[in-house]
Amino acid sequence: MRSLRHLLPSAGSLIVFEAAGRLSSFTAAGRELGMTQAAVSYAVRGLEEQLGAQLFQRRHRQVVLTEAGERFHADVSLGLSHIRKSAEDLRLQATGGHVTLAASTAFGSFWMMPRLQQFRDELPGIDLRIQTADRDLDIIAEGIPLGVRGGEPRDWADYHSLALADEEIFPVAGASYLAKFGLPQTVEQLATHRLIHLEEPYREAASWDEWFESAGASLSDAARGLRINDYALVIQAVMEGQGIALGWRHLASRLLASGLLVPVTDHVMKTGKAFYVVWPKNRELSDNARKVRDWLAAQA
């Protein structure tokens, strides 16, 4: 089986051939492709010579496909249109219509979803796609224009970044839990309640131990309580009254505002880290991706 590279004088001559056959004219094909008639003539002739078959009958001021040319044209036309559609989709995704944002499930659910209507109102015509994952995606490698990450920008040498929110962590409980067990008034009381622990396998997240330490206390039995490996599920459990969990302000703020979640104690742990929208240094953002980035930063 021979490669097309050996079968053809150049792959570009296929594109030229397709246009000439469709338009029955070398001059019209040249116009469409931004070339001269002479270049089209040479390209078609090169193709005919390499394939050893006459593809066109040359008529007065016109060319007509031979029978063999007709068959070949049908196949080439089908193949190229397939490829063109795909290339256009890919380019659209990369440079236009679609913009993909890679983020955690929790960010998607609790930060972006409550703001989606606003996003649509302010940036109509941009098709935003959230790609969630249980780890921070290598968006450079994946060809995704934008991501949201927690941490410190100095750890991401290949990325630009803009801050979205500082990392502020405090306990949150659901109303039904508090109605049943009462609201803890002090850090010490809190330690006696049911605590829900987040255990993400890939992302580093602050734990209850760290929070109590930041409050100048200690948790005597760290093993007690529910353990869940997805923060979105943690929040669901809290709202259903299964216990108290640590809340990240930027994620919990909408739920707090609506009363679905209630802050517990007045101690807030500030890690010094923050959440950022990031994008690759090695590639220019499309106009739309830049707009999405700027919109995100404006929510800070």
Query: Is 52 among the residues that bind DNA (CB under 7 A)?
Result: no
Say whether residue 300 binds a second copy (CB under 8 A).
no
**Among residues 11, 38, 163, 179, the one that binds a second copy under rule CB under 8 A:** 11
**Residues 6+ positions from 284 with CB-CB distance below 8 Å:** none
**Cβ contact 47:40 at 8 Å:** no
**CA 43 centroid distance within chain:** 41
Indicate the helix (H) or strand (E) that contains 261: strand 261-263
Distance CA 232, CA 107 (A): 9
DSSP 8-state assignment for residue 284: P
Task: Decide: is 299 part of the binding site for DNA (CB under 7 A).
Answer: no
> Toward a second copy, which CB reaches closer, 2 or 180?
2
Per CB under 8 A, the segment of 89-97, 165-173, 236-244, 264-272 that binds a second copy is 89-97
Q: Closest approach of Cβ 32 to DNA, in Å?
A: 12
Query: How many Å apart are CA 223 and CA 80, to the nearest integer?
Result: 61
Decide if residue 71 touches a second copy (CB under 8 A). yes
279 binds a second copy (CB under 8 A): no
Residue 207 contact among a second copy, DNA, none, beta carbon within 5 to 8 Å by kind: none
Residue 10 as a binder of a second copy (CB under 8 A): the answer is yes
To the nearest 10 degrees (0 to 180), the angle between helices 26-33 and 37-51 is 110
Q: Does 34 bind a second copy (CB under 8 A)?
A: yes
Q: Does 85 bind a second copy (CB under 8 A)?
A: yes
Furthest-apart CA atoms within the chain: distance in Å: 97
Q: Does 6 bind DNA (CB under 7 A)?
A: no
Is the distance from CB of 203 to CB of 136 less than 8 angstroms? yes
Residue 82: count of CB within 10 angstroms of its CB: 10
With vertex at residue 272, the alpha carbon angle to CA 218 and CA 154, rounded to the nearest 5 degrees, is 130
> Is residue 169 involved in binding DNA (CB under 7 A)?
no
Size of the site for a second copy (CB under 8 A): 54
* Among the listed residues 4, 6, 52, 59, the single contact to DNA using CB under 7 A: 59
Binding segment for a second copy (CB under 8 A), chosen from 3-11, 161-169, 235-243, 261-269, is: 3-11
Rounded to the nearest whole angstrom, what is the least distance from the CB of residue 281 to a second copy in the complex? 14
Asked if 255 and 155 touch (Cβ cutoff 8 Å), the reply is no
Interface positions with DNA (CB under 7 A)? 9-10, 12, 16, 25-27, 30, 34-39, 41-46, 56, 58-63
